[in-house]
Amino acid sequence: MCLGIPGRITAITDPGAMLATVDVSGIRRTVDVQCVAEPGRPLDDLIGRWALVHVGFAMALVDEEEARATLALLETLGEAEAERDAMRLTADLDRGEAA
């Protein structure tokens, strides 16, 4: 099952392509932030914000409390490790490393 998993936006890596780095439980991954970017506001405003990440896209912004509660729930359900493994695999592929 694929879920949205909370990650903290740590950097804007390509403003023109609307790409940012998110940190999901220590795993850093490049994601598209087009769905969460606010028109007329600089993308740098997203740095430090939490977003639900799914298949390379930040789908929605969430507050830190909700993000931490969601991560805890995923841990309890045993889904967090599978999601982190998927994030780790795609992060390796982004860097051109074989899985």
Report the percentage of the chain scoring pLDDT > 90. 56
Mean pLDDT over 63-75 rounds to 87
What pLDDT was estimated at residue 93?
Answer: 60
Report the percentage of the chain scoring pLDDT > 70. 75
Paired tokens of 97:
């490393």
Task: Indicate the helix (H) or strand (E) that contains 77.
Answer: helix 64-77
What pLDDT was estimated at residue 11?
Answer: 98
Contact by Cβ (8 Å): 59, 52: yes
Give the position of tokens 């403003």.
15
CA-closest candidate to residue 66, choices 1, 8, 2: 8
| pTM higher than 0.85 | no
CA-closest candidate to residue 10, choices 41, 43, 46: 46
Set out the domains of the chain in order of their start, with CATH numbers.
5-94 (2.30.30.140)
Contact by Cβ (8 Å): 91, 31: no
What pLDDT was estimated at residue 55?
Answer: 87
Greater confidence (98 vs 33) lies with 33
